[in-house]
Structure 1
Amino acid sequence: MVEKVYSTRCGKIHYWINPDGKCQEKQLVFLPGLTADHRLFDKQIEFFEGKYPVFVWDAPVHALSYPFDMDFSLADKATWLNEILLENGFDNPVIIGQSMGGYLGQMYMELFPGKVVGFVSIDSAPLQKQYYTGIELWLLHRMTPVYRHYPWKTLLKQGTNGVATTEYGRALMREFMMTYDGDQERYANLAGGGYKILVDAVEAELPYKITCLAMLICGTKDMAGSTKRYNRAWHARTGIPIHWIEGAGHNANTDKPDEINDLIAEFIRTA
């Protein structure tokens, strides 16, 4: 993997890419969730690198992609992603998004229809407004002060134990969060601002139709908000196949990497 930098009006985005691979027909684009960085997909990169072209990034405002102004939308983020992929010849991407990365994948497909050849959602949820309650949308607008005033030690504990069930998954999430240790204001702006960007996209009420081959993945122990409820409804309303990962938390790909790698590999073969 080679680290590269892409400049935007808001700041610089750091990403890692390897365009080589035995199969060049499809490229794998891994998009981490909110507050996680590119290391979230280490087990997937390790498995797929050399087999397919692969890409992963530190999303805007995250880790090395900072300093970065929060003055952007989910659509801006998708546009920057598209520009990076085009610059690197990724013209048949399979988007694999965890949590916020899955929302970004849906926005990407909305703005650039027909470009994505496959979409894998890992512990994410649909962007259509119909899936959300009024109180959920209200809260998503107001998360920054919650993170700003929450005791950091408690936030650190809940943020690590609450998203993963394995020692590896929890240790990795703790590493992500320790990036912001001593600067809780930065963490609050990142997390709260990320949810604000998300709810703005939901309330835009765009179609967000998934027309390519898709797969939903969700951990049976996912305790992040209403993720499991969203995925049950998403599957029921669209018929998109869903795979429940027994014992995995919100970061299911870190809790059960081998199982998820096998699911993704089989999915890619049919996409």
Structure 2
Amino acid sequence: MEKKSIKSEHGIIYYWIGGNKNEDASCIIFTHGMTADHTMFDMQVGYFGEKYKIITWDMPLHGESRPYDNFSYYNVAYELKNILDVEKVDKVILVGQSMGGYVCQEFAIQYPEKVKAFVAVDTNPFGHYYYSKWERYILTKVGIMSSWLPYSLLVKSIAKGATKTEYAYENLYNAVSKLSKKEIIFIINMGYGGFLKRKETIKFDFPVLLVVGDSDNTGYVKKYNFKWSKHEGYHLEIITNAAHNSNVDNHVEFNKVTEKFLSKL
């Protein structure tokens, strides 16, 4: 994977590109979750790289894409569009985990003509329809509650709460520990705050696959995905022996499920 960067008025964004070099190869861009980085998809890069052009990136405020001013999902979607424009990618397959799924949804709202399909990994749907007033209220307090924890405990609790396997734990721990406590709390506040701004439900016209780990105990992600699947008719796959970072916990099963979905496009 070749490391590259783009610069906008808000900061420098780092991304990695590789995989199939044929001009007619479809492109997958993988967008990681809250406090993670591009290495979350290391087990997908090699697997899908033979057939697809692959792009991973450090979302603004994460990994090497720091510092970044004026974070919003609208701005992050624009940065993603800039990467695709630089790489001359007209249509892309979006794979987004957790917060990365919010970025993908915003991108699809802003640039629907550029989306070929969307794989939503342990993420939640936009729209207040899916959430009670109490659940929305709790989301606004996650940052405050997280700030009560000592830094070392905060890092460990984030990594432990989202993973089931040792490999997945180490992967997330390494990413989170690069961030300061102030950065972590800011990401949490920006992540959930921006998510709640989208009040309307969104119906996408391209194929969508929902993927959730069977042991995902982060909030009510599983419940929301069952409701999302029922409301919009999107196919839902449950990944066994996997928590919130299901593509990392059980990459073998995740890769097969995703490959089957993509083969039908």
- Between stretches 72-81 and 221-230, larger displacement belongs to 72-81
Under a length normalisation based on structure 1, what TM-score does the superposition of the two structures give? 0.92
Determine the structure 1 residue equivalent to 2:228: 234
Query: Is 1:216 aligned with 2:206?
Result: no
CA drift of 1:27 comes to 0.6
State the SS of the aligned residue for 2:158.
helix
- Rounded to whole Å, the distance in 1 between the matches of 2:103 and 2:59 is 10
Distance, in Å, in 2 between the alignment partners of 1:96 and 1:23 is 21
**In structure 2, what is the equivalent of residue 62 of structure 1?**
62
Cα distance between partner residues in 2 of 1:35 and 1:18: 24
Seq. identity, %: 31
Amino acid in the other structure paired with 2:61: V
> Contact between 1:147 and 1:192, CA under 8 Å: does it hold in 2?
no
Task: Show the counterpart of 1:98.
Answer: 97
Preserved CA contact (<8 Å) 1:245 1:252 = yes
Moved more, 144-153 or 115-124: 144-153
Q: Give the SS at the match of 1:117.
A: strand
Structure 1 residue ranges without an equivalent (≥5): none
- 1:10-49 CA distances to partner (integer Å, 9 max, x unpaired)? 1111111126345834111101011110000000012112
Task: Give the distance between the partners of 1:23 and 1:257, measured in 2 at CA.
Answer: 27
User: Could you tell which deviates more after superposition, 24-33 or 190-199?
Assistant: 190-199
| Pairing 1:159-238 to 2, within 5 Å after superposition | 159-180=158-179, 183-200=180-197, 202-203=198-199, 205=200, 207-238=201-232
Give 2:37's aligned residue.
Answer: 37
Q: 2:53 aligns to what?
A: 53
Residues in 1 aligned to 2:113 and 2:78: alpha-carbon distance in whole angstroms? 15
Distance in structure 2 (CA, Å) of the matches to 1:189 and 1:155: 13
Instruction: Quote the Cα distance in structure 1 between the aligned partners of 2:11 and 2:147.
Output: 23
User: Which residue of structure 1 aligns with residue 260 of structure 2?
Assistant: 266
Which deviates more, 22-31 or 48-57? 22-31
> In structure 1, how many angstroms separate the alpha carbons of the residues matched to 2:143 and 2:226?
28
1:245 and 2:239 aligned: yes
Report the AA paired with residue 63 of structure 1: G
Say if 1:2 and 1:234 are closer, same or farther in 2 by CA, change over 3 A.
same
**TM-score in terms of structure 2 length:** 0.94
Paired residue type of 1:42:
D
Tell me which amino acid in the other structure corresponds to 1:39. Answer: T
Is 2:16 the partner of 1:16?
yes
Q: Give the secondary-structure state (helix, strand or coil) at the position aligned to 1:39.
A: helix
Deviations for 1:125-176, whole angstroms, at most 9, x for unmatched residues?
1112200111222233333332222222332232122111111111111111
* Structure 2: distance between partners of 1:149 and 1:9: 33
**CA distance in structure 2 between the aligned counterparts of 1:243 and 1:197, rounded to whole angstroms:** 27
- Write the letter of the residue equivalent to 1:193: M
Distance 1:170 1:72 in 2: 27
Structure 1 residue identity aligned to 2:240: E
Once residues 131 and 114 of structure 2 are traced to their aligned partners in structure 1, the CA distance between those partners, rounded to angstroms, is 28
Report what 1:154 is aligned to. 153
Deviations 1:174-216 (A, max 9, x none): 1112112xx311221122222222222x23x3x5221101111
1:257 and 2:254 correspond: no
Conservation of the 8 A alpha-carbon contact between 1:22 and 1:50: no
Counterpart code for 2:176: M
Q: Which moved more, 1:214-223 or 1:17-26?
A: 17-26
The whole-number CA distance in structure 2 between the counterparts of 1:19 and 1:48 is 8
Question: Counterparts of 2:117 and 2:63 in 1: how far apart (Å)?
Answer: 27
Measured against aligned partners, the alpha-carbon deviations of 1:197-243 in whole angstroms (never above 9, x if no partner) come to 2222x23x3x5221101111100100111101101101111111111
Q: How many residues align?
A: 265
